[in-house]
Amino acid sequence: MAETLKPVRGPRDFLGGRLRVFSEDNVWLWLLPLAVLISFFYLYPVFEAVRFSFTDATTSSGDDYSYTLRSYVQTLTLPEFYAMVRTTVIFVGCSVIGQVLFGMLIATLVYEGEMRNLPGFGIVRALVLVGWVLPGVVLGIIWKLLLDESGASFMAIPFGMFGIRDPVFLSAPVPALAWVIIANIWRGTAFAMILQYSAMKTIPPEYHEAATIDGASWFQRFRLITLPSLRNILLINLILATISTLNTFDMIMPLTGGGPGRSTEVIALYIYNVVFQEFDFGRGAAVAVVLSLIGIVLTLVYFRILTNKQDGFE
């Protein structure tokens, strides 16, 4: 029954098997474009950035700088740095969990609705995406207007109905951080939704059909069919959402500027301020390196937790 394997014709046969390196079975050949691209457009600048983190360069110093560990020392010995790390961890943690959960929720809603041919699922899908398409800076401005405490904003309406004339949204440290997280979840849920929705779509509908015929409830189907298939995507989702949230500053900038005080100044925003407002490139690079290290640690943690089982990544 097994068909005889016909020889695959390729350059390998052409050149008598000598140029094995160009065989389509050489995995490195497949990965070459990626490697080239990353080296030229990423590794070199990254290397430079790391190099600069060991200098005292400013953005206008051109070639006039010297090597020093000062940037790192300054960064790590500042007490506020640890407060910022804590703020960043809270921000990233809550945002990522929120995004992934809401993304899953909405993806499920949309998928189930689609399966049942309920009209309207496409609209919901599109709406969520709009929130994501808007540039971060614009979102920051919009949310700032939405959260205007003087009453001219939309958010003030429900509070007004309860008789609270001067609601506190952004003018105190804790609510400010909370709202920044909410705005970030609002923004990033679309990404999680898209990922998980697409993964749900690759599950053969027959599995669901069979399960329903067997009398499984929606919840059982979700738990036993959908969730396991989402495993890999969830890992990717978590990692990507974490990385992207770690690097988010564009929305926070117009929303709170990092304030009040430093309560919403996440590390990425701090880097922006240091490089573009204080013109200190060496210090900015140093903090960026630290941030990347944090990201690497987090990613490794995710990996450990989520892939120590069989079907992890292979």
Partner 1 sequence: MMKLVFGAAVSAAAVLHGQLAFADVYGDPNAPMTITWVTQPTQSPEAGNERYASYYKGKIEAFVAAHPEVKVDVTLNSNNGNAGMTKLLEQLAIGQGPDFATIDSFFVKRFLPYLTPMNDYYTEEEVNDFFPFAREAMVVDGKLKAFWVNTDVRNIYYRKDLVATPPKTWDELLEVAGKLSEEGHTGYIFPAGRGEAAVMEHLPMFWAQGGELIDEDGKPVFGEGANRDAWINVLTFMRKAVESGASPNRVANFGSESDMQPELARGNTAIFLGGCWMMSELKSLGDQNDWGVADIPLMTEGKPITAVGGWMTGVFTDNADKLPFIAELQKMLQTSPEAMDELAVVRDDLPTRASVVKMGSPYFQDPLNIAYMEMLEFGRPRPSSVIYPTISVELQVAISDVVTGAKSPADALDAAFDKVMAQYKP
Partner 2 sequence: MSPIHRRSAIPVLLIYSGYVIVALIYLIPILWVVSLSFRPLQELFAYPPRLVPMKPTWDAYVRVIENSLILTYLWNSLKLVSLSVLGTIVVALPSAYALSRFRFRSKRQLTLIMLGILMVQLISPLVTILPLYRYFATLGLINSHIVVILVFIAMETPVATWMLKGFIDTVPTALDDAARMDGASRLQSLVLVLLPVLMPGIISVSILISVATWGEFLVPYMLLSDNKLQPIGVGVLDFQNTSDGVTTHYLAAISVLATLPALIVFLLVQRFIVGDATSGAIKG
Q: Which residues bind partner 1 (CB under 8 A)?
A: 56, 58-62, 74, 77-78, 80, 145, 148-153, 166, 168, 170-173, 256-263, 273, 275-280, 283
Q: Which residues contact 53 (CB under 8 A, 6 or more apart)?
A: 71, 72, 282, 285, 286, 288, 289
Spatial distance between the Cα atoms of 119 and 97, rounded to a whole number of angstroms: 29
| 306 touches partner 2 by CB under 8 A | no
| 158 touches partner 2 by CB under 8 A | no
The backbone torsions φ and ψ at residue 187, rounded to the nearest 5 degrees and listed phi first, read -70, -45
| 170 touches partner 2 by CB under 8 A | no
Please say whether the beta carbons of 278 and 225 come within 8 A: no
Q: What is the DSSP letter of 55?
A: B
| 131 touches partner 2 by CB under 8 A | yes
| 285 touches partner 2 by CB under 8 A | yes
Spatial distance between the Cα atoms of 32 and 41, rounded to a whole number of angstroms: 14
Q: Which of residues 27-66 bind partner 2 (CB under 8 A)?
A: 27, 30-31, 33-34, 37-38, 40-46, 48-49, 52, 59
CB nearer partner 2, residue 172 or residue 210: 210
**Among the listed residues 276, 284, 278, 274, the one whose alpha carbon sits nearest the alpha carbon of residue 53:** 284
Out of partner 2, partner 1, none, what residue 171 binds, judged by CB under 5 to 8 A for its kind, is: partner 1
CB nearer partner 1, residue 221 or residue 283: 283
Among 83, 109, 178, 306, binds partner 2 (CB under 8 A): 109
